[in-house]
């Protein structure tokens, strides 16, 4: 029963992380199309009545705008502008950076050092955790997830000696937490040396 509940909770959260951005993107697309309909009406009148010309032209115009912006972002100046926009606007939104890195990690595109699975020593036990950042003095900020909801938990700053890196995919560690620790034997088998030796 607990395993099924963990599966349900993890599936809902993972689905939300995928569907929420898609839903927001569709809403923005529809809003952009609705705002363009007034501008397009004179051109739509030139097309046959049976064709949904207003919506079709609005969709094409939004797609063209997306293409132009996407192509511009591939240039050096476009990447610099996007980075400035992220730093000045989006990164000021609480949780943006963490959600972005987590989403990229779930998609398999994240940085190797962010949300990296590990075991950490807390009191006399090894606890599954994720490395969030490494400090200049060698310590780590780690996130210790709650069971079975891996996106809630506690944050610790620990010395290298108390952090043991795991050579497993992020999703495997996430599943182990969501299944009340079932699969920990596989994580222990992938247990590396303390982070101090890396």
pTM of the model: 0.48
Alpha helices for 74-156 (secondary structure H):
76-88, 96-106
Q: Which residues contact 131 (CB under 8 A, 6 or more apart)?
A: 113, 114, 115, 116, 117, 118, 140, 141, 142, 163, 165
Tokens 């994240």, located at residue: 110
Residue 130's beta-bridge partner residues? 117, 143
Distances (CA, A) of 7 to 44, 151, 154, 179: 50, 14, 21, 7
Q: Tell me what pLDDT residue 2 has.
A: 62
Q: Tell me what pLDDT residue 198 has.
A: 43
Q: Tell me what pLDDT residue 197 has.
A: 42
Low-confidence ranges of the chain (pLDDT < 50): 193, 195-198
Give the span between the Cα atoms of 14 and 39, in whole angstroms. 39
Q: What is the pLDDT of residues 74-130, one digit of tens each?
A: 888 888 887 887 777 776 766 566 666 666 655 555 555 568 888 999 988 888 998
Q: Tell me what pLDDT residue 157 has.
A: 94
């Amino acid at each position: 029963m607990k395993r099924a509940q963990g599966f349900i909770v993890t599936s809902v959260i993972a689905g939300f992380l995928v569907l929420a951005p898609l839903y927001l993107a569709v809403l923005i697309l529809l809003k952009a199309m609705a705002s363009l309909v007034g501008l397009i009406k004179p051109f739509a009148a030139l097309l046959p009545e049976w064709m949904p010309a207003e919506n079709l032209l609005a969709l094409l115009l939004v797609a063209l705008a997306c293409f132009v912006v996407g192509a511009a972002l591939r240039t050096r100046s476009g990447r610099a502008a996007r980075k400035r926009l992220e730093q000045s606007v989006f990164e000021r939104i609480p949780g943006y950076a963490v959600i972005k890195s987590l989403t990229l990690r779930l998609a398999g595109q994240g940085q190797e050092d962010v949300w990296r699975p590990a075991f950490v020593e807390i009191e006399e036990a090894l606890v599954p955790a994720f490395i969030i950042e490494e400090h200049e003095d060698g310590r780590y900020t780690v996130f210790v997830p709650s069971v079975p909801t891996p996106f809630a938990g506690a944050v610790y700053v620990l010395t290298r000696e108390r952090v043991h890196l795991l050579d497993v995919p992020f999703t495997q560690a996430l599943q182990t937490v969501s299944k009340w620790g079932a699969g920990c034997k596989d994580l222990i088998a992938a247990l590396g040396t303390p982070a101090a030796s890396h």
